[in-house]
């Protein structure tokens, strides 16, 4: 692969990593919020023992788990891009 092509791909990966890390920070904040909300709903469901409180707990828990999956997807993509970046850097240094 030609050096300019490698450099362009490295630049694209760096930009994508910046966006993903920003997305990860947002996902972390949202996950903390949804987890706290799910915990509070669980306590309300235990105390009140009503069908409505149980349904609210299940909904809040579902949101928290969805955010956990979203965060995990972001981490997988970051790891994949970092691996690609490492491979490209290796190719770049081999060409010297």
Tokens representing 31? Answer: 């996950």
**pLDDT confidence of residue 69:** 97
Euclidean distance between CA atoms 74 and 24, whole angstroms: 6
Domain that holds residue 43: 3-94
Confidence of residue 76 (pLDDT cuts 50, 70, 90): very high
Total of domains in the chain = 1
- CA–CA gap between residue 27 and residue 68 (Å, rounded): 8
Please give the mean pLDDT across all residues of the chain: 94
How many Cα atoms within 13 Å fall on the side-chain side of residue 26? Answer: 8
Q: Do residues 80 and 1 touch, judged by C-beta distance below 8 A? A: no
Read off the pLDDT of residues 11-52 as tens digits, 9 standing for 90 and up: 999 999 999 999 999 999 999 999 999 999 999 998 998 998
- pLDDT exceeds 80 at position 95: no
Q: Are the C-beta atoms of residues 57 and 79 closer than 8 Å to each other?
A: no
- pLDDT score, position 96: 65
Name the percent of the chain lying above pLDDT 90: 80
End-to-end CA distance of the chain: 13
Q: What is the token pair recorded at 67?
A: 């955010």
């Amino acid at each position: 692969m030609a050096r300019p092509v490698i450099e362009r791909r490295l630049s694209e990966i760096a930009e994508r990593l910046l966006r993903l890390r920003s997305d990860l920070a947002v996902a972390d904040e949202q996950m903390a919020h949804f987890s706290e909300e799910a915990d509070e709903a669980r306590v309300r469901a235990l105390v009140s023992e009503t069908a409505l409180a149980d349904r609210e707990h299940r909904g809040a828990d579902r949101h928290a788990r969805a955010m956990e999956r979203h965060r995990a997807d972001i981490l997988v993509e970051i790891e994949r891009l970092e691996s690609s970046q490492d491979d490209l850097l290796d190719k770049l240094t081999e060409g010297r």
